[in-house]
Amino acid sequence: MSVSGHSLMVHFPIALVTVAFLVDLWGYWTRQDRLRETGFLLLVLAGVGAVLAAFLGFQITGLASSIEDLAGDHVGLGVAAAAAIIVLAGWRRYLELRGGALSSVAWQGFRLAELATVALVFWTAYTGHQLR
């Protein structure tokens, strides 16, 4: 079994988006702004990793035609996961600039969406493993 650049790169968004969510939540519960800032930075890095992973994924699918059927779901999920992380980072920045209570509906909605994105990334990873 050969290891592609995509296989290596995917670990970054998977790990980073998960830790971003946990650190952010921890910062919220303990009211530590530094932790929440770290959560945001990790989210941005997860977005960069996801875009690179998607780019490397497209390089493979451009070459291989035998995996097209299975790759279908994975491609859509992968693109959606990368887009979701980028939207989350922008949303997060907007909430930060707007101010307001961390317990507000807007912030809770963001945390819920971040959790859903973690699930989306794991689902993407699951479908990716099916391709091997």
Residues found near ligand HEM in the complex (CB under 6 A):
4, 6-7, 10, 13-14, 50, 53-54, 57-58, 60-61, 67, 71, 74-75, 78-79, 81-82, 121, 124-125, 128-129, 131-132
Q: Name the percent of the chain in helix, strand, coil, to the closest 5.
A: 85, 0, 15
Residue type, 91: W
- Which CB, 36 or 127, lies closer to ligand HEM? 127
Cβ neighbourhood burial of 119 (10 Å; 0-12, 13-18, 19+): exposed
| Residue carrying the six token digits 């317990």 | 103
- Which CB, 66 or 103, lies closer to ligand HEM? 66
> In whole angstroms, how close is the CB of 61 to ligand HEM at the nearest point?
4
- Which CB, 7 or 28, lies closer to ligand HEM? 7
- Contact criterion met (CB below 8 Å) for 78 and 128: yes
> In whole angstroms, how close is the CB of 19 to ligand HEM at the nearest point?
14
